[in-house]
Amino acid sequence: MANTQILTIAKFEELKKSPNIILIDFSATWCPPCKVMTPIFRALSEDPELSEIGFYECDVDEETEVAALFSVSSIPTFPLVVFKGDGSFDLKTDVITKVVGAQDGISFRKVYVDALAKIKSE
């Protein structure tokens, strides 16, 4: 069972107020590459090596404000975000890495395992 939650603007504002690491799946129901990536994203949410990451799904058609905050221009887009916990958000410094488009599961996972390892080592 996937360990994902829906990301709304209200949830986004709440997440910024505590130190969090989150991975977001920006997608749309009509997008074929998004449909390919959704099961891969959901499987990743169950990966024990990535248990420190909160996994969120955000429909760009329903949550346009959140998509705009991240300057999402192509879907699917998967930014890994580290919040400082002070309520701020800076697209340039808080987004640690970002994958755009459909990927194979192994490469997709490696991006985030490597990014999490780097965050932990800093």
CB 27 within 8 A of CB 59: yes
- For residue 1, pLDDT beyond 80: no
Q: What is the pTM of this model?
A: 0.95
Per domain, the residue ranges of the chain are 4-121
CB 75 within 8 A of CB 34: yes
Question: Whole-number mean pLDDT of the chain?
Answer: 95
Which one of 3.40.190.10, 3.40.30.10, 1.10.10.60, 3.20.20.70 gives the CATH number of domain 4-121? 3.40.30.10
34 labelled catalytic: yes
Mean local confidence (pLDDT), 91-108: 95
> What DSSP designation does 2 have?
-
70/72 Cα distance (integer angstroms): 5
31 labelled catalytic: yes
Residue 36 main-chain phi, psi, to 5 deg: -70, -40
- For residue 66, pLDDT beyond 80: yes
How much of the chain exceeds pLDDT 90, in percent? 96
Mean local confidence (pLDDT), 58-73: 97
- Of the candidates 31, 44, 53, 116, the residue annotated as catalytic is 31
CB 75 within 8 A of CB 58: no
Instruction: Look at residue 52 and give its three-state secondary structure.
Output: coil
CA-wise closest residue to 9 among 97, 89, 77:
89
Instruction: Look at residue 15 and give its three-state secondary structure.
Output: helix
- Of the candidates 24, 34, 66, 81, the residue annotated as catalytic is 34
